């Protein structure tokens, strides 16, 4: 049972990442819940709601091209109808080489798993000196 859920979650994420890497953010939008919450390092605040996430992703549609990528050490922690997927993501492409920490919390609703929270951040970012 746990292995089944882990497999389902990983497949959902892999499919969404694959589409993401060809400039198509709809893979993630299609599996995100209406009330999704979202952090990434480019945003000043948390985004709340699928409308706001869609508006963000609309601005980058077609602009990202990942040539090769790797999902490092994925782990799924299951808590009832919630599942916490964590991994690191290394991508090489239009943005150069990027190393990300990624958290995606999925919730099962009427048999379908949807992302209710996503948090993207840089692995060990090298900060500019403070002025």
Binding site for its own copies (CB under 8 A): 35, 37, 39, 41-46, 48, 72-73, 75, 77, 79-82, 84, 86-88, 96, 101, 103, 105, 107, 116-117, 119, 121-130
- Assess contact for 82 and 105: CB atoms under 8 A: yes
| Smallest distance from its own copies to CB 119, Å | 5
Q: Looking at beta carbons only, is 46 or 61 nearer to its own copies?
A: 46
Closest CA to 29 of 2, 49, 11: 49
- Assess contact for 63 and 23: CB atoms under 8 A: yes
- Measured from the Cβ of residue 117, the count of other Cβ atoms closer than 10 Å reads 19
Q: Looking at beta carbons only, is 22 or 35 nearer to its own copies?
A: 35
């Amino acid at each position: 049972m746990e292995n089944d859920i882990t497999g389902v979650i990983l497949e959902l994420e892999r499919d969404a990442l694959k589409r993401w890497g060809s400039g198509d953010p709809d893979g993630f939008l299609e599996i995100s819940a209406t009330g999704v919450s979202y952090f990434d390092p480019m945003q000043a605040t948390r985004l709340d709601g699928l409308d706001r996430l869609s508006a963000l992703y609309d601005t980058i549609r077609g602009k990202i091209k990942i040539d090769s990528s790797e999902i490092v050490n994925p782990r799924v922690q299951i808590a009832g109808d919630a599942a916490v997927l964590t991994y690191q993501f290394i991508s090489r492409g239009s943005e150069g080489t990027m190393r990300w920490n990624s958290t995606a919390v999925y919730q099962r609703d009427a048999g379908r798993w949807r992302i209710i929270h996503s948090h993207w951040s840089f692995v060990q970012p090298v900060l500019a000196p403070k002025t």
